[in-house]
Structure 1
Amino acid sequence: MANENILVVDDEAAIRLAMRVALKREGMRVTEAPDGKEAIELLGDQKFSLVILDVMMENVGGYEVLRHMRSNDDMTPVLMLSGKSDEADQMMGLDFGADSYLTKPFHTALLIQNVKALIRRTQVYAHVDTTKLKCGHFSVDTVKMECLKDGEPLDFTGRETSLFRFLMEHPGEVFTKEQLYRQIWDDSGAVVDENTVTVYVKRIRSKIEKDPKNPVYLKTVRGVGYRFDQTEM
């Protein structure tokens, strides 16, 4: 994995420097933006393999950049950075279409593992040849990377699609949060962020369940993890 073009957006020069050094050490190209306004301009001129996007910036913040990207059908993977660890804050970013979330301060090794995992998964799905996966009321168009319920599209982000597709491929099987994180976020031994899995499960339930607090499809197996049931019981 080398020569990927990464856009780093952060208003702190020291943080941009640390990320630039770490990413270039991995053979990646780095383009920097000190604020959201410049980031939007760069996104209009260039194609990037990944965007690392700080949440809190003056003038144009990270959420505004993310909304701009997704509203313009720019599905470039986005790794959000924030000093906040609150779950509601993370859900906001994921709801806007972020693919992953990293809380400051972080070790650059963890950053690199997240970056590689996001790029690797994007490359894998870009070469998928199969057409459609069906399971009960649900289906996944693996060419368009679109999830549907009873033929109607579900408003999933890229990472939600990846997680839901994995669960659909293994109906009735129980997976721990660690197993899901390793499978969907990183398979190279990164530190497991179980809260991220919890947030994504909540987002998926809000889109597939009639009553997300009493799920019939994506169920919690107490003390173990999660299980996908393809039909209502």
Structure 2
Amino acid sequence: MISILVIEDEKRVADLLKIGLEENGYQIMVAYDGEMGLRLFQNNAFQLVISDIILPKLNGFEVCQQIRQHDEQIPILMLTALGTADDKLEGFDVGADDYMVKPFDFRELLARVRVLLKRRAVSGTEAPKQIAYADLKIDLERQEVMRGDTPIKLSPKEYNLLVYLVENVEKVVSRIEIAEKVWSTHFDTGTNFIDVYINYLRKKMDKNFDVKLIHTKPGVGFILTSRL
């Protein structure tokens, strides 16, 4: 049975998640503060974490960051009343995989849980240890990135975005494709998450190099190529 850790200090929401997810066949453990959530995570085996951000003792960003130090692959879904672009970017930067704003539709949350679990199952299959293009090399086991002899330090979401672009090298990918494949979600109309992260990548990947790899196709999307 798939086991999910729910970290939520609002009992009504925690009960809703526990009852709803258990009715759909998942095993649920609930923590009501950040420290309790970390203890449960360290002492049990979970396949997914759902965490609020505003929590007693340790906030959700801190919890997410510490979970990532122990497990780089487990899906983390942030569930919170904070809905600004900066809040979402901070959540993704510390390693969250998806983000839902309260109040939420449980059916949508359930759909996102299934997508995250499916993606984790697929990522557990046999995969190459390294991918490379031009002077770019990515060590998939260590999650280390190099351009030539220069190491490139990326946040978890920047790294995932780069890997997706390299996996689709020489191909234009749309913002919708990136949102679905990298974030496992659709963003609200008008948000610019993808463009923000593309700009983050450009500053780190291209700014100090003669050959630019990340390019924009206006009105279409983005492409990773050394031929433009």
* TM-score when normalising by structure 2: 0.83
Shift of 1:42: 0.7
Shift of 1:110: 1.5
Whole-Å separation in 2 of the counterparts to 1:90 and 1:20: 24
Aligned counterpart for 1:106 among listed residues 82, 104, 107: 104
Greater mean deviation of Cα atoms: 199-208 or 171-180 = 199-208
Gaps of at least 5 residues in structure 2 are: none
1:64 aligned residue: 62
Residues 97 and 183, structure 2, Cα contact 8 Å, conserved in 1 = no
State percent identity of aligned pairs.
26
The count of corresponding residues between Structure 1 and Structure 2 is 223
Whole-Å separation in 2 of the counterparts to 1:156 and 1:73: 18
Whole-Å separation in 1 of the counterparts to 2:195 and 2:15: 32
Distance 1:69 1:151, change over 3 A: farther
1:176 aligned residue: 174
Provide the aligned C-alpha RMSD in A: 2.6
Whole-Å separation in 2 of the counterparts to 1:225 and 1:125: 25
Residues 176 and 186, structure 2, Cα contact 8 Å, conserved in 1 = no
Shift of 1:62: 0.7
Distance 1:19 1:67, change over 3 A: same
2:194 alignment partner AA: V
Residues 110 and 191, structure 1, Cα contact 8 Å, conserved in 2 = no
Whole-Å separation in 1 of the counterparts to 2:112 and 2:156: 15
Whole-Å separation in 1 of the counterparts to 2:124 and 2:144: 13
Tell me the secondary structure at the aligned position of residue 16 of structure 2: helix
2:80 aligned residue: 82
Whole-Å separation in 2 of the counterparts to 1:50 and 1:27: 14
Whole-Å separation in 1 of the counterparts to 2:144 and 2:25: 32
Distance 1:205 1:79, change over 3 A: farther
* TM-score when normalising by structure 1: 0.82
1:38 aligned residue: 36
Over residues 152-194 of structure 1, what are the superposed CA-to-partner deviations in whole Å (9 max), with x where a residue is unaligned? 55444555444322211222322221122233344xxx65556
Distance 1:174 1:111, change over 3 A: same
Whole-Å separation in 2 of the counterparts to 1:203 and 1:110: 29
1:149 aligned residue: 147
Distance 1:171 1:105, change over 3 A: same
Gaps of at least 5 residues in structure 1 are: none
Residues 182 and 192, structure 1, Cα contact 8 Å, conserved in 2 = no
Shift of 1:38: 0.7
